[in-house]
Amino acid sequence: MPADADRDAGQDAAPAAGGLTRRLVTVPPGGRFGGTAGPGGELWFVIAGTGRLDAGPWAGTPLGRDTGLWLPPDAEYRLGTGPEDEVLLDVVALPAGPAQAQEPAGPRMSRLRDCAVEQTGDRRFRVLLGPGRGCEAATQFLGEIPPGRAPEHSHPYDEVVLVLEGAGVLHAGGTDRALARGTTVHLPPGLPHCLENTGTGTLVVLGVFHPGGSPAQKTAG
């Protein structure tokens, strides 16, 4: 593979009405992933691996697992890996809108270990990036769901979800869908749904929603 090429491990695009587009990107050993963020900016999350990032004021900045990154609209970036490293990225492109004019001029980074644990019911979450946390337009969070099923509910925002660990079932719109590591889900505003953990361990999910707010914000199903 050419040194300046990127290799997509797969991608799941949200419906055009939602405006969020997600793809999973694998940067192989000795590879490069470079380009320009879209007109709405991008939220990244490093699922695995380590690399070095050039973006805005950052030059050769280490980027490792469990790191969230906000790239503002039209920001140029270049992520490289060492000869024995590989990086798996979750990349969500946001739709352009008036909120982008309020964004900080440069990229922002957030490490999961530095994020406070918040709780709603028996479910825990940590916000990496969001309003007042480096990204005004959207929110990126990691959620932990214990075994069992919560009441059906809906959100006022558009959301894409990626399963990082565990197994379960998505109950949404009168249908059921199996969830496993790597499953991607789109939840449009107002859709009654529930994520059920059918395993014995924790179901860990990565969520991005737009416009930004709190993952605890919901309405009855």
Encode pLDDT of 38-50 as tens digits.
999 999 999 999 9
pLDDT for res 120: 86
Q: What's the token pair of residue 98?
A: 């008036």
More confidently predicted of 16 and 25:
25
pLDDT in tens, 99-116: 555 555 789 999 999 999
The pLDDT of residue 17: 42
> What's CA 131's distance to the chain center, in Å?
15
Q: At 216, is the pLDDT very low, low, confident or very high (cuts 50, 70, 90)? A: confident
pLDDT in tens, 138-193: 999 999 999 999 888 898 999 999 999 999 999 998 899 999 999 999 999 999 99
Task: Answer whether CATH 2.160.10.10 is correct for domain 113-220.
Answer: no
The mean pLDDT value for 70-86 works out to: 96
Q: What is the DSSP letter of 103?
A: S
What is the average pLDDT across 65-81? Answer: 96
Distance CA 149, CA 195 (A): 7
CA 210 to chain centre: 11
Helix (H) or strand (E) holding 184: strand 184-187
Structure tokens at 109: 């980074």
Specify the pLDDT at position 163.
Answer: 97
Q: How far is C-alpha 56 from the geometric centre of its chain's CA atoms?
A: 21
Alpha carbon 61 to its chain's center: 20
Domain ranges of the chain: 7-109, 113-220
Sheet holding 32-36, edge to edge: 32-36, 76-80, 51-55, 58-63
Domains 7-109 and 113-220 share a fold: yes
Homologous superfamily of the 7-109 domain (CATH):
Jelly Rolls (2.60.120.10)
